[in-house]
């Protein structure tokens, strides 16, 4: 059902088509399993040969694809998925490849890769396919970094999703971890890391000068 709705959505959305590539922007995606939803910057559909059945330990790439190589487990673990999907209004099979745009440069840590992998896992659930890789495009360096959705990244993504839900149910957020990265963060107006530091400093000073 979810896959059917998704296909309709792709059909209605403005899309850019070349011979072996379709680009769709701003797709709304979600995963009931991860409890996540959002919107993609760009999903590329690369023309593929007859889809392969992916099982644990295989990539979803077929011959002729600009493959992101590497061993990985399909999603959900152990379930067999096709490596490419059919799309409405076009012939053939298409491999799903999410692309996320970032204004800055690659960050230390895996945050961008986890975000992209979460998108891939949403797309897998909605399209009932296997997504083996995607790409991060960094505006500052004009570099496109290909990312393989291997089992380690998938596990990290699941753990992050679980931690987010635990944080939401606990009703508290961790304190801001202010640093140079904040200058490029889209959440800075909500997070206000510098103000938090001022508040923390004030609490500290108040405690020092309190009567007890």
The least distance separating ligand SF4 from the CB of residue 6, rounded to whole angstroms, comes to 30
**Residues 98/119, Cβ–Cβ less than 8 Å:** yes
| Site pattern 38..77 for ligand SF4 (x: CB under 6 A) | ----------------------------------------
Count CB-CB contacts under 10 A for residue 82: 20
- Binding of residue 164 to ligand SF4 (CB under 6 A): no
- Binding of residue 104 to ligand SF4 (CB under 6 A): no
Q: Which of 83, 149, 144 is nearest to 110 (CA)?
A: 149
The least distance separating ligand SF4 from the CB of residue 158, rounded to whole angstroms, comes to 21
Bridge partners for 28 per DSSP: 39
Token digits for 153?
A: 């990244």
- Binding of residue 185 to ligand SF4 (CB under 6 A): yes
Among 177, 198, 199, 201, indicate the residue that binds ligand SF4 (CB under 6 A): 177
Q: How many helices (H) and strands (E) does the chain have?
A: 5, 10
The least distance separating ligand SF4 from the CB of residue 186, rounded to whole angstroms, comes to 8
- Binding of residue 181 to ligand SF4 (CB under 6 A): yes
Pairing of strands 42-48, 93-102: antiparallel
């Amino acid at each position: 059902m979810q896959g059917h709705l998704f296909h309709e959505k792709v059909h209605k959305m403005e899309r850019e088509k070349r011979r072996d590539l379709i680009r769709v922007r701003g797709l709304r995606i979600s995963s009931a399993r991860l409890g996540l939803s959002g919107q993609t910057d760009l999903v590329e559909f690369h023309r593929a040969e007859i889809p392969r059945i992916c099982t644990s330990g295989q990539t979803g790439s077929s011959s002729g694809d600009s493959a992101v190589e590497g061993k990985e487990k399909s999603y959900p673990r152990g379930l067999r998925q096709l490596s490419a999907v059919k799309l409405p209004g076009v012939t053939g099979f298409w491999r799903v490849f999410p692309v996320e745009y970032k204004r800055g440069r690659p960050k230390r840590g895996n945050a961008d890769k986890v975000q992209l992998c979460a998108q891939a896992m949403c797309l897998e659930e909605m399209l009932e396919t296997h997504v083996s890789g995607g790409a991060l495009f960094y505006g500052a360096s004009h570099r496109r970094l290909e990312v393989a959705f291997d089992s380690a990244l998938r596990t990290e993504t699941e753990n992050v999703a679980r931690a987010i839900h635990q944080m939401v149910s606990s009703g508290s957020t961790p304190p801001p971890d202010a640093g140079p990265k904040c200058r490029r963060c889209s959440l800075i107006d909500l997070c206000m890391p510098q103000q938090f530091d001022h508040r923390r400093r004030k609490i500290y000073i108040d405690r020092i000068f309190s009567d007890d």
